[in-house]
Chain A
Amino acid sequence: MAIEQSAPPAQRIYRHRLPVRLMHWVNVISITILLMSGLNIFNAHPALYWGHDSHFASPWLSINARDTPAGPVGVTQFAGREWQTTGVLGLSAVDGQTSARGFPSWTTVPGPQWLSMARHWHFFFAWVFVINGVAYLLYSLFSRHLARDLLPTGSELRGIVTSIKNHLLFRHPTGGAAKRYNVLQNLAYLTVIFVLLPLVAVAGLAMSPRLDAVYTGWVDLLGGRQSARSLHFIAAAGLLLFTLIHLFEVIVAGVWNEIRSMVTGWYTVPADKPAKGL
């Protein structure tokens, strides 16, 4: 027989408690819809500025269609440089019809350009997201999820170089080490929970003319309303980046095990590799 030493029986642990699982999936739904309806709203004026108002001649990012002798093209401008992005950004097909729009219809909710409907989706799920987020913060504090699982210990922080190396080599923790979040995971989750998510929410609120009147000038802390719109977009892009890396890590770490643990709570701890394997 090829295997001399059979692997030790897999150890199963109860990794995610029900409230965390529930709030995780509510968050998945609300952030997905917020992102996609947000892109539809962005498309109504596909340009971003810094400051109080829109300096129409000098956006730092714009995604437009432009007429050329050869026909219309999609043009993405970022920090003064331009790229032709026909087919995806600036000019793309909606139901077979080529049309001028910032982000393409497969990234937006609803698919067609429909600002009023996108706003209804956005504001409804903004409430779902905020209520869910506040519930999560309270739960994490009082159940000690934050202190126990999310905050890295001193020795974990000191091991950050090793952790970075392990991630780059796609070496995933096994045995006892796999029961805890690793230090990079801790820092990524903490950045999302305490930087990106609050920023996306506050910058979103700063775009409301009525909420700007809560305390005169508070929007200036973000650099003005158009800066707030830019920060809202950048924080959303950061969340998208986090989600892509998160999904990638889920796939390389063992997709079914990871998904099962976020659905049922039960996680199979990857066994320590035997000294001599197959």
Chain B
Amino acid sequence: MMVDEVCLNEALLAGATEVFETMIFMDIRQSTAQDQEASCESNSQDGSEQHLKGNTFLGSITFTGDMEGCLGICCSISCAKAIAQNMLGMAPTDELNEAEISDAIGEVANMVMGSFKSRVQETVGNLNVSIPTVVKGRSLDASVGEDAGRTVINVNIADQYDAEFSLLYRRENKRES
């Protein structure tokens, strides 16, 4: 059975939406071109780190099996903090340390991976998932080799933050006809 990028893209967005609706309680939608233009303008004006060119957290989780690769969520530090606060039911003024924010982003990657996996299981086959890892820095990007397929979804969270979900994958010749 052939797996196309549209199918993976839809499953990734649906998985992320489910996690944000049930566990994080923040609205999430695929970004429009206007969102991205507005974000760039806003950042160039106030020098903030709302978008993905400043310091970011990258939460990623690898998988092997009938398809292998890596699923990632990349977002600004302020976005990651808001996600962690919402997950834990905290107020925006409550403080969180970097380890707590990092742990929360790892769990988001883990849960989106779980939701994605359940949606593609029938088409793709079995996936064995690793434990999530989170890194912080500038211009972060995951890679699983030059021959990997890549699907990226830019999202807007709570009409306030930009984030990016990415899926890098390689199927070799498994189950494809």
Q: Does A pair with B?
A: no
Which residues from chain B sit less than 8 Å from chain A, CB to CB? Answer: none
